Amino acid sequence: MSQKDLLRIAVTGASGFVGRRLVEKLTESTAVEVIGVLRQLPVEQQPFAVVKIADLTETTDWSKLFSNTAVDVVVHCAARVHQMNDSSEDPLNEFRRVNCAGTLQLARSAAAAGVRRFVFISSVKVMGESTLPGAPYSVNDIPKPVDPYGISKLEAEQQLAALCQKTGMELVVIRPPLVYGPGVKANFLSMIKWVHRGIPLPLGAIHNQRSLVALDNLVDCIIKTTHHPAAAGQTFFVSDNHDVSTSNLLRGIARALGTQPRLIPIPMALFNHVARLLRRPAIAQRLCGSLQLDIRHTMDSLDWVPPFTFDEGLLKVAQHYQQSLAVQRSADLK
């Protein structure tokens, strides 16, 4: 295959949870040339071109990315991510500075350089925080973000749409829910640790429904949108197409770890009541609330089906977690 036949894809946030895996999968294709955009240059040589960009703001100079190589597609994974305990004085302004102004600076530079398609990794949080069980979000629903992160992502979507309409660059927006996979952090890792340690959990009677997406399912969908003709100008929800309750999620984690969960069946109403008394309603919402996505538009438009099942996704997480523990124990013995 000649150089001119290669699809040149630049991935921002190439060292992040999603970006790193996306770059790994893209480099497996002989039809793709990958440019990874990183904040820090890697110590070891990588099987793809690397560009260092120190920050993501309205003044970022993207000439390093676009001046030497003709880029066909930009997949924008880099962002100021959702934070449970944000210590900044003005969180919304900080999110806007990176996720809106920074994204628009990149998109303007990409359009000026002749980039054909811009794939923006947004978030389900542009829609809101919850759904009623059995009433999933559809791509036709009106977004109603609640927190600064969700607001900044929606504003970025809207500004990107205006820019792309003006310049002719194709825009694809992907809104994933919670992403889990090998190396997952935050609340999902906490649940793995709870189950692995056999901690009794008052979560055995939670009957909510939540959409999740395995990292490899998300990456597979992203790759599809980089070249599929029907993706241009579209917004896509993505998930495993298998919604689960918190109780069944914990049971699934236990199966993957090869253990038994210790779940106490406390009624949801009582759990929510105790959380309110303890002034922790957000915890109850995350554990008991529903958030479902209807991904039929994604599947039909892209002729796409999640390649990995929910149980397969959890097994990858569990194996990575157990391997990490083994490595740590080995290091401790030295």
pLDDT at 2: 47
pLDDT at 288: 86
Residues 137 and 273 in one domain: no
Residues 149 and 201 in one domain: no
Show the tokens assigned to 74. 């930009």
The rounded percent of the chain whose pLDDT value lies above 70 is 96
* Other Cβ atoms closer than 10 A to 79: 24
Under the banding of pLDDT at 50, 70 and 90, the label for residue 292 is: very high
CA nearest to 127, candidates 156, 104, 99, 147:
147
Among candidate residues 175, 200, 223, the one where a domain is terminated? 175
pLDDT at 165: 97
Residues 141 and 255 in one domain: no
CATH code of 57's domain: 3.40.50.720
Domain that holds residue 148: 3-175
Residues 288 and 168 in one domain: no
Active site members = 149
pLDDT tens by residue, 105-126: 999 999 999 999 999 999 999 9
In a domain, 139, yes or no: yes
User: What average pLDDT is seen over the chain?
Assistant: 92
Residues 263 and 155 in one domain: no
In a domain, 220, yes or no: no
Residues 195 and 113 in one domain: no
Residues 145 and 207 in one domain: no
Residues 139 and 123 in one domain: yes
Residues 171 and 148 in one domain: yes
In a domain, 333, yes or no: no
